[in-house]
Amino acid sequence: VTFGLPFQLDHVHAYLVPTSGGGWMAVDTGLGLPGVRERWEAELGGRQLDRIFVTHYHPDHIGGAAELADLTGAAVLEGRLDYEQAVDAWGRAGFRSEPYMRAHGYPEAVIAAIDRHHEALTQLVHFVEEPEHVEAGATLDGWSVLAVPGHADGHLALLRDGVMIGGDVLLAGITPNISLWPHSRRDTLRAFLDTLDLICELRPRIVLPGHNEPIADPARRAAETREHHELRLAAALDALSSEPRSGYDVSLTLFPAELDPPARRMATGETLAHLEYLVDEGAVVRSEDGGRIAYSTTE
């Protein structure tokens, strides 16, 4: 079930999967744009929905959950950590990301624009409070639930008979955004590279992704994606010298195109994930001065 999105990435795929009881399971829900409920109603065409599985809390995957649950009465299943991060990102008492952005050198005008965008986006994210928690290792109608952290800390995927419904774990044509977020684990890139290794090990026949075309050779795409990050790690190291630079500043070297503030935020998050990986490798030094974090080479 493909929904249009008002972003540069202009669509997202949700899936309907038959269940053993003669009903259906939805995997992801689209963004909570006006009309999402009607769209699901038309797609379901009277089919009984037994459950709604959320791969991760990003707006285009979780945003229509409340509408779909209300329409069908189906329970929403989501990982515990992922739910906590959904509340953090979209809840009324959620985190403020300004301190994180200031610490990493974002200009004030960019912070203000990102805050406005986040506020508007929050209006389109209708997640369900108190979902049923599901964890890696569980089985749903023969589908194994897998932890695939990296793009989101609590990202889950489903695997059955060589078919992986992957959310944003592996994408064709683009690579999933791997960022350091204010509430994320610090080693998101390490976690993601381990997830790519897991895909190579499991060797699914096909990955049905959240964006773009299905991936017919997942192990190969996982290897290509790993190679991409190795190149980006080298580029991040190249962008540094003994003179400390903020993550925002380094992002201007790694992503030199002019980006709108929300895209610059993703570019900076991705840059920070690579810099923190290099810190853990001992190749880069993180320093803090008056609440400002900066990175430099070891010599």
List of residues contacting Zn ion (CB under 5 A) = 58, 168
Nearest-approach distance from CB 253 to Zn ion, in angstroms: 25
Smallest gap from Cβ 162 to Zn ion, in A, equals 23
Closer to Zn ion by CB, 50 or 168: give it.
168
Number of Cβ within 10 Å of residue 132's Cβ equals 13
> Nearest approach, Cβ of 85 to Zn ion (angstroms)?
11
Distances (CA, A) of 206 to 149, 202, 209, 227: 19, 11, 9, 20
Residue 238 CB coordination number (10 Å) = 11
Smallest separation (angstroms) from Zn ion to the CB of 82: 11
Q: Which is nearer to Zn ion, 50 or 60 (CB)?
A: 60
For the CB of residue 1, give the shortest distance to Zn ion in the complex, in Å.
17
**CB-nearest residue to Zn ion:** 58
- Of 211 and 245, nearer to Zn ion (C-beta) is 211
Tokens of 136: 């890696």
Q: Which is nearer to Zn ion, 168 or 187 (CB)?
A: 168
Kindly tell me which of 78 and 168 has the beta carbon lying closer to Zn ion. Answer: 168
